[in-house]
Chains A and B, each alone.
Chain A
Amino acid sequence: MSVLAPERTPVLEERSAEPAVRTRRKDFAGLVLAIPFLVLLVGTVLVPVLYALYLSLFTERLSGLGFSGPEHVFVWLGNYVSVVADKAFHAGLGNVALFALVHIPSMLIGALVLALLLDSAVVRLRRMWSLAVFVPYAVPVVIGGLIWAYLYSPTIGPIKNLLGIDPLSDTAVLPSIANIATWQWVGYNMIIFYTALQAVPKEIVEAARADGAGGLRTAWSIKIPVIRPTIFVAVVFTVIGSLQLFTEPMVLRGFTGTVTSTWTPSMYVYEAAFVAGDNGRAAAASVLLAVICAVLSAVVMRFSTRRSSR
């Protein structure tokens, strides 16, 4: 930045210059200011994405025992075809879809209810409550996952005794993972919603109250509609987060055989790249995952704007 600073001075000095020149100079300044961002965008996003696209078109072909080393072969969309046809990838998508079905409603409704309670005047010790709900977000996901894994462990953890079911069995493991994620994220989203609620104009709320609306009616008919855009942004983030589910099942995998190595699409990518050593297939799967994320986010955004404009 210190290198760029001198270039800005002339722009400020030439205020009296012709408007055309001024806009051109302004554009130039904007460009200069954008450089740090552009460098990071290119270096950490665009180049890796393009490299992944490139990698996804190649595979390593061996022959005989394979000890003479691999040959790089261009396979067009062969890696994509094998990922799309892979039952393990389908199963992974199915798992995150189910996970999203459990996690998104419970987490967002929970966060919204907590935020509305915080926003209403009835809550005492507001700071303590918000901190208590928010704290899990400050716990690193792996640590949180390990703590839950101990709680879930059939003989040393209390949950099996309390509920009478083994939280790590093949039927219960998905809700167990959704529970970890919900615990982790409910506080974060509560803060987002609470902040949005703070911005709801007091006049509207007071007008509603003057018209005889109770607390529930105010929340339902005034507050929630006003913060709807915020809610939709939270939905988009949660949808993307659910698709990329990785850490929680990865941690539980060390405790139970019911979580497979390709349990979610992200784990599928990890398995392909780091266990099978198949970078082409890993790249193709991650490109597909990115496309699915983009499409789903677009759908949710579209839905959101349509609802808001109504």
Chain B
Amino acid sequence: MELSPALRARGLSRRGFLRATAALGAAGLAGGCSATAAPPGATKVTIWSWLTGMDKYVAAFNGAQKDVFVELRVIAAGLSGGYAQQTNAIRAHNAPDVLHVEYQGLPQILLTGGLRDLTADMADLESQYSPAAWRGVRPDGRTWGVPMDLAPMVFYYRKDLFDQHGIALPRTWDEFRAAAAAVKQVDPQARICSFPLNDGSFFAGMSWQAGDPWWTAQGDTWAVDIAGEGTLRTGTFWQSMISENLVAGVVHGTQDWIAGMHDGKLWGLLGASWSVGTLGRSIPKDTGRWAVATMPTWNGKPSNGVQGGTAFGISAESKAPEAAMTFLRWLSTNPDVPKIGSTFTTPFPAHLPNRAVARQAYKGGYFIGDPVYDVLDEAAKRVPDWTWGPNALRLFSTISDSFGPVRGGGTTLPDALRKIQQSAVADMRAKGLSVREGKSA
């Protein structure tokens, strides 16, 4: 099981392939865990992560050199326990050397004061990263993490059905509304896509596109603007789509959603780069039905949101920060990593040269029309400024809680957003943070 993806790999150099195979074999012997014996004299670096395939990357790194030995512990993903475990470890002064953070979770982890300032260590790499990813690890202008991947949002749609019924691919949100009405007219049971209300990071990605960042670090103060013009415009648009019953409400990734996607009840998905993998896994028989396009825009102005993306930080109390940095630089910038990644997923690295490697290794065949990496690249270029705040993760719960009554008519998205702004500001002030309401100066 460990070896088969590597054996299927294309585009791997022979040496790289052998190295990866040997390393994977070693990992396999150790029962899928990277705790093979460290070579004598190697500096030990511990990492906690929930990234899919991290065991394979670590094994390849340990196999490729003898100076640093990385020990991986797989932890629960993000809000399922990963963040709590890492924050508590920082509080208890026994954090691992390398911590898993997502861009959206980085400022919240920073509140523990447990991450090392990497500004000097990373300075030389700035030009090699996608600007959106680079900004993601620099909420206050200092570098706190090493970017791994980026997840720009894109629109996946049933090109076969759109073409068959003469519905043009919507390029603006106004066209999107018309297309949604057309889809419903063709099949009263079908909708253009779902708009899940219990997913705060999804709504944040949709609002990101509108160009009003929810937080901005202004010197020593957070400017908080969750009910800004762009976000309210997004909320108003989707409120009308929901009120007119033009979108479904099923939660992405559930059995209900998978069934709808496969049975032609959902003709599209407002997804992210990682949805390429989700589609391939959830509806593998749908080959040749789906296509990818950049998101519809507000009045044709190119802009694009992001949903997710991984980076790694180094613990402030790490005894081996240099060795940890060696590993993270390798993980983020070595071309072997996307090659290994392409054997089991569709990586979209934050590191631009590595993205070219991933594009080369992409097997394709599932989607019709535009090449996937072209669309993702274009989407990544369009990402406007955005800063995640120190309460972003908690805000996702607040959003999901506040949006709950929307479908039953208990509230509307714009009303809920105004309340969310108030509660976010109160929450941040209660913690002692310096907060200013409204748009950044």
Q: Name the contact of B256 in the complex, choosing from A68, A153, A171, A258 (C-beta under 8 A).
A: A153
B220 contacts A64, CB within 8 Å? yes
Q: Bound state CA distance, A255 and B410, in angstroms?
A: 19
B203 to chain A, nearest CB (A): 11
Q: List residues of chain B with CB within 8 A of the CB of A170.
A: 404-405, 408, 410
Interface size on B, residues (CB 8 A): 50
Tell me, yes or no, whether B12 is within 8 Å of chain A by CB. Answer: no
Asked if A162 is at the interface (CB within 8 A of a chain B CB), the reply is: no
| Contact segment of B247-255, B270-278, B334-342 | B247-255
Residues of B contacting A155 in the complex (Cβ-Cβ under 8 angstroms): 250, 256, 259-260, 265
A63–B221 Cα distance when bound, in Å, is 9
Q: Is A302 an interface residue (CB 8 A)?
A: no
A271: chain B residues at CB < 8 Å are: 397
Complex interface residues of chain A between 254 and 310 (CB less than 8 A to chain B): 254-262, 271, 273-277
B73-117 CB mask vs A (1 if < 8 Å, else 0) is: 000000101011001000000000000000000011011111000
A217 within 8 A of B: no
Tell me which residues across on chain B come within 8 A of A137, comparing CB atoms: none
Q: Which of B390-424 contact A (CB under 8 A)?
A: 390-391, 393-394, 397-398, 400-401, 403-408, 410
For residue A255, which residues in chain B have a CB less than 8 angstroms away from its CB? 251, 254, 256
Partner of A69, one of B84, B111, B407: B111
Known interface pairs A66-B110, A170-B410; A257-B404 also in contact (CB < 8 Å): yes
Are A257's CB and B400's CB within 8 A?
yes
Closest chain B residue to A88, Cβ basis:
B401
Tell me if B377 is interfacial: C-beta within 8 Å of chain A: no
Contacts of B256 in A (CB 8 A): 153-156, 255
CA distance A256 to B197 in the complex (A): 9
Known: A155-B256, A156-B256, A169-B408. A276 touches B432 (CB 8 A): no
Task: Tell me, yes or no, whether B57 is within 8 Å of chain A by CB.
Answer: no
Q: Are A63 and B434 in contact (CB under 8 A)?
A: yes
Judge whether B178 is part of the interface by a CB distance below 8 angstroms: no
Contacting residues of chain A (62-77) with chain B, CB-CB under 8 angstroms:
62-70
* Contact residue among B81, B260, B397, B431 (Cβ-Cβ distance under 8 Å from A66): B431
Q: Interface digits, B419-438 against A, CB 8 Å rule (1 contact, 0 not)?
A: 00000000100111110000
Task: Say yes or no for A206: interface residue by CB 8 A criterion.
Answer: no
Is B84 a contact of A64 with CB atoms below 8 Å? no
Q: Is the CB of B431 within 8 A of A65?
A: no
Interface centre among B87, B198, B393, B427 (most CB of A within 10 A): B198
In this complex, what residue of A is CB-closest to B198?
A: A257
A62 to B198, CA, bound (A): 29
A156-B259 contact, Cβ under 8 Å, with A62-B433, A64-B433, A255-B251: yes
Q: Which of A67, A156, A253 contacts B113 (CB 8 A)?
A: A67
A27 at the interface (CB under 8 A from B): no
Q: Contact: B397 with A261, CB < 8 Å?
A: yes
Q: Which residue of B lies closest to A274 (CB)?
A: B84
Report the minimum CB–CB distance from B105 to chain A (whole Å): 11
Min Cβ gap B410→A in Å is 7
Tell me whether A153 and B84 are in contact (CB under 8 A): no
A60 at the interface (CB under 8 A from B): yes
Q: A61-B432, A62-B431 are in contact. Are A254 and B404 (CB under 8 A)?
A: no
Asked if A246 is an interface residue, CB under 8 A from chain B, the answer is: no
Question: In the complex, how many residues of chain A place their beta carbon closer than 8 angstroms to a beta carbon of chain B?
Answer: 36
Q: Which residue of A lies closest to B115 (CB)?
A: A67
B217 within 8 A of A: yes
Does B175 reach chain A (CB closer than 8 Å)?
no
| Docked-complex contact B403 and A274, CB < 8 angstroms | no
Please tell me if B208 contacts chain A, counting CB pairs below 8 Å. no
Quick check: A62 and B251 within 8 Å, CB to CB?
no
**Pair A65/B81 contact, Cβ less than 8 Å:** no
B259 engages A277 (CB within 8 Å):
no
What residues on A are CB-neighbors of B221 within 8 Å?
A: 64-65
Q: CB-CB < 8 A to B111: which residues of A?
A: 62, 66-67, 69-70, 277
Q: Distance in Å from the Cβ of B16 to the closest Cβ of chain A? A: 39
A232 proximal to B (CB < 8 A): no
**Nearest chain B CB to A279 CB, angstrom units:** 8
CA A126 to CA B83, docked complex, whole Å: 50
Name the residue of chain B whose CB is nearest to the CB of A263.
Answer: B401
Task: Flag A144-172 by CB within 8 Å of B: 1 or 0 each.
Answer: 00000010011110000000000001110
Q: Which of chain B's residues have a CB closer than 8 A to the CB of A171?
A: 408
Residues of A within 8 A of B286 (CB): none
Q: Does B373 contact A (CB under 8 A)?
A: no
Q: A67-B113, A253-B198 are in contact. Are A275 and B432 (CB under 8 A)?
A: no
CA distance A150 to B87 in the complex (A): 34
B397 CB contacts on chain A under 8 angstroms:
261, 271, 275
Interface presence of B2 (CB below 8 A): no
Min CB gap B121→A, angstroms? 17
The complex places the Cα of A62 from the Cα of B221 at a distance, in Å, of: 12
Candidates B108, B113, B196, B403; contact of A277 at CB < 8 Å: B108
Residues of A within 8 A of B390 (CB): 62, 65-66
A273–B249 CA distance with the chains assembled, in angstroms: 29
Query: Which of B79, B222, B404, B427 has the most A CB atoms < 10 Å from its CB?
Result: B404
Q: Which residues of A contact B79 (CB under 8 A)?
A: 274-275
Interface centre among A155, A254, A255, A276 (most CB of B within 10 A): A155
CA distance A230 to B90 in the complex (A): 48
Most buried by A among B111, B249, B400: B111
Of all chain B residues, which has the CB nearest A150? B255
| Distance, CA A62 to CA B111, complexed state (A) | 8
B433 partner residues in chain A, CB cutoff 8 A: 62-66
B140 on interface, CB distance cutoff 8 Å: yes
With the chains together, A170 CA to B197 CA distance in Å?
13
Tell me the complex Cα distance, A276–B249, Å: 27
Chain B residue contacts of A260, Cβ below 8 A? 400-401, 404
Q: How far is the CA of A66 from the CA of B434 in the complex (A)?
A: 8
- Considering the complex, give the chain B residue whose CB is closest to the CB of A146: B255
Whether B110 and A67, one on each chain, are in contact in the complex, defined by CB atoms closer than 8 angstroms, is yes
Contacts of B83 in A (CB 8 A): 274, 277
Contact with B along A163-196 (1 / 0, CB 8 A): 0000001110000000000000000000000000
Closest 6 CB pairs of A and B: A69-B113, A257-B198, A261-B397, A260-B401, A274-B84, A64-B220
Can you offer 11 A-B residue contacts whose CB atoms are under 8 A?
A62-B111, A65-B217, A65-B433, A66-B111, A66-B431, A82-B430, A254-B251, A257-B249, A261-B398, A262-B401, A277-B83
Known interface pairs A274-B84, A276-B391, A277-B83; 9 further A-B residue pairs with C-beta atoms within 8 A, sorted by A's residue number? A63-B433, A65-B140, A69-B112, A70-B113, A155-B250, A156-B256, A255-B251, A257-B197, A277-B87
